Chains A and B, each alone.
Chain A
Amino acid sequence: MSDVTRADVCAAAIADAFKDDGEIFASPMGLLPMLGVRLAKLTSNPDLVISDGESLFLAGVPPLFATGDVVEGWIPFRKVFDLVAYGKRHVMMGATQVDRHGNQNISAIGDWARPRRQLLGSRGAPGNTVNNRTSYWVPKHSTRVFVEAVDIVSGVGPQRAEQAGFAAARYNDIHRIVSNLGVFDVKGDDHSVRLLSVHPGVSVDQVREATGFELDLPADVPVTRGPTSEELVLIREMLDPKGLRFKEVPQEVAP
């Protein structure tokens, strides 16, 4: 389809990050991750367990921010922590910074003792990254986000985990980084960030220029697959008819 938007491509790429997860709790933080997870549940992985983002497991797959779906379970915060330790969970978090080794920062910018800009705090990132599969979503790929070394390590990348010992590395599993420009993992040289695909209309050079460290680049970088027509119908007519996704990834028609 010629009118496929970048946001649609991102949604399908996020869905792909969850397609092989089986029956686990998919825990998306933010709008596009929520859209992608619900898309995966309606297509490639119906066994995914999803929540309302507060305390209920939802049996169906409601549109973004809809309420009133059938409830299939109870997941208050205290049980989220149990599930993190149990490991049957894949969280896709945001990232104010991500570095070459897949470390993530959502805590603060600058010196921890006296930050230039205080952000959320580390939240659950340290626990997530040493217990269950973790991915990141970056809606605006830039050298400010993709930095050589993060200011504060909230989410632990594979190299740091390995250095911290077996208990840290055992379940560390940084699966995907999806941005508005491409899809990445951390299986490059020396546990570094590797480019897996560029979105339609994006060049490899464009990704390199928007990245503040040396990316691991395969000889041939494929183009991220476009959403199928079934996925487009689900995104546009069912999950996000109001086009909320364009607030995160502005509408542009990919060639």
Chain B
Amino acid sequence: MSTGPRDKQLSIDEVVAELSDGMTIGIGGWGPRRKPMALVRAILRSDLQDLTIVSWGGADVGLLARAGKIRRLVFAFVSLDSVPLEPNFQKARQEGTIPELVELDEGMFQTGLRAAAQRLPFLPMRAGLGSDVLVNQPQIKTVTSPYAGPDDVHEELVAVPALHLDVALVHLNRADRHGNATYLGPDPYFDDLFCLAADRAYVSVEQVVDTAGLTVDTPVQRLLLSRMMVTGVVETPHGAHFTTCTPDYERDERFQRAYAAAASGSDEDWAAFSSRFLEGDEASYQAAVQAFAEEGK
């Protein structure tokens, strides 16, 4: 009898059922690139609240902010790239609807995840010194080197606190049912680091394949996630839409423009967008997106 590693496949709803109010959730990808949007949409539909969201932010942050799901946001930027400023995030900031903000330099963010991944309380870093990141985040302290450096100076550096996550949500191109996963695009972003910094990590993928299939069409170096780092696997074709998921698909710029227009429009504009796209399940989202694409042809 052959007993392989266990099957970790879950549905989108099963993943969301494992989340609870008040959790700290790290969201992988980068800005408007390879975000686990199907999982974010499922959180929107849930009654989860008071979340701490840790993200190099794009529409994931915008959507969760607009829905009032975020109690605390840890971010370095929020951008849609081709639309530089994220309108839902802007609105939330300007109306003060996110109670607690932690704004980091984007490299500090990586260092915080690294500290958590290494089970360290902090890691030293130069970034942040002299900037208002340290003024506006007085909880972030400095640390003095025990070693003398040039000119006998003991350098005083930022002690970037560990960004420990309860849960990481990431989206990759392929995984097997056990949680080994590859990215096929140009950049891994930091999805491995999010998983290492979290107690539990859920990866959604375009396609679940046999383990042997993971390295058929791509070098072994693209295996970013090992099953040791992954709690659950969800197959969500087009699950990063409307962000990039190169090479499976690029960003849906026309849809993103519609999103940004609705988000920066009136409450009625947003309600119309929301009821057309966001209030059904993932299948009805994808169907509505398909219909929207047809209209544009």
Contacts and interface: CB of A to CB of B under 8 A. Distances in A.
Interface of A: 54-56, 76-78, 81, 84-85, 107-108, 112-127, 129-131, 152-156, 160-161, 163-168, 170-172
Contacts of B136: 112-113, 152
Interface of B: 30, 57, 75-79, 84-85, 89-90, 93-94, 96, 101, 103-108, 110, 125-133, 135-136, 150-151, 153, 155-157, 186-190
Contacts of B187: 54-55, 76-77
A114 B85 contact: no
A41 B103 CA distance: 35
Contacts of A114: 93-94, 96
A105 B169 CA distance: 31
A78 B101 CA distance: 24
Given A115-B94, A118-B89, A120-B78, A77 B128 contact: no
Interface of A is mostly: mixed
Contacts of A161: 129-130
A78 B110 contact: yes
Closest 7 CB pairs of A and B: A127-B127, A168-B129, A164-B130, A126-B131, A121-B77, A118-B93, A156-B130
A54 B104 CA distance: 21
Nearest to A108: B93
Nearest to B128: A126
A121 B190 contact: no
A171 B150 CA distance: 13
A127 B128 contact: yes
Given A119-B85, A154-B132, A124 B126 contact: no
A168 B130 contact: yes
B151 A166 contact: yes
A112 to B, nearest CB: 5
Contact of A76 (B75, B125, B189): B189
Contact of B76 (A122, A166, A168): A122
B131 A153 contact: yes
A27 B75 CA distance: 22
A116 B94 contact: yes
Nearest to B137: A112
A143 to B, nearest CB: 22
Contacts of A155: 131
A81 B150 CA distance: 23
